[in-house]
């Protein structure tokens, strides 16, 4: 069942992307979609029955604009550092370590990616509830975990 | 439409350029990943938005709209893939004991810092 749904989603995507409806292109589509579906059909529908998936998705899309705003800030900050003539005085890199409250795997991945995309911090490692984050200076690390973790907690309803 | 496309493409090129400059100027592997992980992401987003606007400049045909959606989906995949790839590189660097460049030799700091009375 999961295999069939994965295959159909992939094949619809293939037709949308290629836009060619002759047998040559369609048979390549069937072949490659079957291959991908065989390898990865258990990734997409691992926990399909978990509750609140629809609300979670809606809240996730509400979280995206804020994330893009943070990404633009991050890029301006990195551009400022890269072009600053006395760059070595401004940076003070450390790996910081803090404990997370998030339990859900997907929430942790979202949090890690968000850390990577926000100003001056990138996630290095997640191990036993601890996040290891490389921060480019102390002021970049000041806002962690704080505000962003609270937003993600709200999205994934882990209050 | 074309002016919007040009503005977005120039912004994208600016962020790609700063990513490259940052990559050359920062002192070690970890700080260099800061420049590439971020600059590439936003550079790709802006450049792809510029291209999507440019494909629409002949008018809103069905074909050019589909092309724009395809171009935007490149940016979406990039947003998911780029942080993950950065994370994989950093993790393998840390696990093979590559020591980060620091000023005070304290590599790993517990956070948030405890307040001294």
pLDDT in tens, B69-100: 888 888 888 877 887 888 888 888 888 877 77
| Diameter over CA atoms, chain B | 68
Closest by alpha carbon to A141, among A126, A113, A122? A122
pTM for the model stands at: 0.73
Euclidean distance between CA atoms A37 and A34, whole angstroms: 5
Nearest CA in chain A to B102: A93
- Given this model, what pLDDT does residue A50 score? 57
- As a whole number, the mean pLDDT across chain B is 82
Looking at beta carbons, which residues of chain B come within 8 Å of A93? Answer: 28, 30-31, 100-102
- Residue in chain A closest to B87 (alpha carbons) equals A124
| CB within 8 Å: A132 and B108 | yes
pLDDT at B10 over 90: yes
- Name which residue leads in pLDDT, B94 or A142: B94
Does the residue B65 lie in any domain? Answer: yes
| CA atoms in the 13 A half-sphere facing the CB of A64 | 10
pLDDT-derived band at A48 (thresholds 50, 70, 90) equals low
Which residue on chain A is closest to B105 by alpha carbon? A94
Q: What is the model's pLDDT at position B113?
A: 57
| Preferred mutation among B13, B82, B87 to probe A, highest tally of A CBs within 10 A | B87
| In a domain? residue B100 | no
Tell me, yes or no, whether B19 lies in a domain: yes
CA dist A106 and A81 (Å) reads 32
pLDDT confidence of residue A3: 81
pLDDT tens, residue by residue, A64-109: 787 788 788 888 888 888 888 887 777 778 788 877 777 777 778 7
Give residue A27's pLDDT. 92
Which of the four pLDDT bands, split at 50, 70 and 90, describes residue A32? very high
Biggest alpha carbon–alpha carbon distance for chain A: 62
Tell me what pLDDT residue B6 has. Answer: 92
Mean pLDDT of chain A: 78
Q: Is the pLDDT of residue B116 over 70?
A: no
Domain range for residue B13?
Answer: 2-95
Question: What is the pLDDT, as a whole number, of residue A35?
Answer: 92
Number of domains, chain B = 1
CA distance B2 to chain A (A): 23
Q: Count of residues for chain A?
A: 159
Q: Does A12 touch chain B (CB under 8 A)?
A: no
Flag whether B63 is in a domain: yes
Is residue A146's pLDDT more than 70?
A: no
Contact between B30 and B90 (Cβ < 8 Å): yes
B29 is a domain residue: yes
Task: Say whether the peptide bond before residue A96 is cis (omega within 30 degrees of 0).
Answer: no
């Amino acid at each position: 069942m999961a295999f069939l749904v994965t295959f159909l989603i992939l094949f619809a995507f293939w037709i949308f992307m290629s836009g060619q409806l002759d047998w040559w292109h369609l048979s390549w589509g069937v072949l490659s979609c079957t291959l991908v579906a065989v390898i990865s059909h258990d990734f997409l529908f691992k926990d399909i029955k978990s509750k609140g998936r629809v609300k979670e998705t809606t809240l996730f899309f509400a979280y995206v604009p804020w994330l893009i705003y943070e990404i633009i800030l991050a890029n301006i900050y990195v551009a400022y550092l890269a072009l600053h003539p006395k760059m070595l005085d401004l940076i003070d890199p450390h790996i910081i370590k803090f404990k997370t409250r998030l339990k859900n795997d997907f929430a942790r991945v979202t949090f890690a990616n968000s850390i990577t995309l926000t100003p001056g911090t990138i996630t290095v490692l997640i191990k036993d509830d601890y996040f290891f984050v490389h921060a480019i200076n102390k002021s970049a690390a000041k806002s962690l975990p704080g505000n962003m973790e609270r937003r993600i907690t709200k999205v994934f309803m882990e209050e | 439409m074309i002016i919007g496309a040009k503005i977005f493409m120039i912004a994208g090129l600016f962020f790609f350029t700063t990513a490259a400059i940052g990559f050359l100027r920062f002192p070690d592997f970890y700080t260099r990943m800061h420049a590439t992980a971020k600059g590439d992401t936003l550079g790709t987003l802006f450049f792809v938005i510029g291209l999507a606007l440019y494909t629409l400049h002949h008018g809103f045909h069905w074909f050019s709209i589909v092309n724009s959606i395809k171009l935007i989906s490149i940016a979406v995949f990039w947003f998911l893939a780029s942080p993950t790839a950065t994370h994989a590189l950093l993790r393998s660097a840390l696990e093979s004991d590559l020591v980060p460049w620091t000023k005070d030799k304290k590599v790993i700091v517990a956070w948030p810092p405890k307040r001294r009375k």
